[in-house]
Amino acid sequence: MAEGYFVFTGRPNSGKSSLIKAITGINVAVGKQPGTTNRIEKYPLSKNLLLIDMPGYGVSLRLSKQGEEDTKDMILDFLKNKSNQIILALHVINTSTYLETETRLAKKGFIPLDIELVHYIKRDLNITCIVAANKIDKERSSIINENLEALKEGLGPTIPVYPVSAKTGDGIGLLKNDIRKRLIEHGYTNPFELVK
Ligand SMILES: Nc1nc2c(ncn2[C@@H]2O[C@H](COP(=O)(O)OP(=O)(O)O)[C@@H](O)[C@H]2O)c(=O)[nH]1
Ligand SMILES: [Mg+2]
């Protein structure tokens, strides 16, 4: 069986590393780490299955404009070149600031990056993509709901969206079950059994 990839994408600070930890138990580095390189990190999950932690996609305080563009290219190249081996992509969004981020960037003439990347993964590369709407603990529920509605509208009806909090554990069970089911369907049994 060919080596398969389970890929995590998302803006810097959306909570990718925290979710990897919450879902798989892998002890990845969490939080702001000035000076760390923008590498694509690979972790073995089970036989022939690798988890891929992408660097942040989009505006980063740690990087120059050129650095941001180089990182985006690196992510898009990886997704494109490995699309045949990518079993599942999980795109992580900071739900507490979603509309604020999109509106602020839209005013500066940027396209909504989260939506754009998810659609690229699903429509152009034909990769199964689900979305973790993370940090639902971080704002009042009225704001979270408003952001969730906007996010779902932007993504369209065919992308599953799981509201979660990597911090409180809210929603993680449902998301984890869905991921397990999809990986097992592709023959990756015990996907969260760690391999040394
Ligand atoms: N309140 C809250 N904070 C979170 C949540 N998930 C991640 N964080 C925090 O957000 C910051 C960025 O998380 P990290 O996982 O490193 O994001 P990454 O850059 O996407 O890998 C860290 O300070 C985390 O502790 C969440 O669900 N709720
Ligand atoms: Mg990270």
pLDDT tens digits, one per residue of 39-53: 899 999 988 999 999
Instruction: Kindly tell me if the per-residue pLDDT of 32 is higher than 70.
Output: no
**Cα separation values, 99 from 11, 108, 121, 127, Å:** 14, 14, 21, 26
**Separation of CA 123 and ligand 1 centre (Å):** 28
Q: How far apart are CA 10 and CA 117, in angstroms?
A: 9
**CATH of 35-185 given 3.40.50.620, 3.40.50.300, 1.10.580.10, 3.30.70.260:** 3.40.50.300
pLDDT tens digits, one per residue of 123-143: 999 999 999 999 999 999 999
**Separation of CA 33 and ligand 2 centre (Å):** 9
33 — pLDDT class (breaks 50, 70, 90):
low
Query: Of the residues 8, 16, 18, 41, which should be mutated to test ligand 1's pocket, given the most ligand atoms within 8 Å of the CB?
Result: 18
Closest Cα to atom 26, ligand 1: which residue?
135
Q: Is 24 in the pocket of ligand 1 (CB under 6 A)?
A: no
Q: Which ligand is nearest to the CA of 32?
A: 1
What is the arithmetic mean of pLDDT over 162-183?
Answer: 96
Mean pLDDT of the chain: 90
Q: How far apart are CA 13 and CA 55, in angstroms?
A: 10
Whether 126 and 85 have beta carbons less than 8 Å apart is answered as no
**What pLDDT does residue 110 have?**
72
**Separation of CA 82 and ligand 1 centre (Å):** 27
Q: Is 165 in the pocket of ligand 1 (CB under 6 A)?
A: yes
**Separation of CA 30 and ligand 2 centre (Å):** 6
Domain ranges of the chain: 35-185
**What pLDDT does residue 159 have?**
98
Instruction: Kindly tell me if the per-residue pLDDT of 34 is higher than 50.
Output: no
Closest Cα to atom 14, ligand 1: which residue?
15
Atom of ligand 1 nearest to the CA of 21: 15
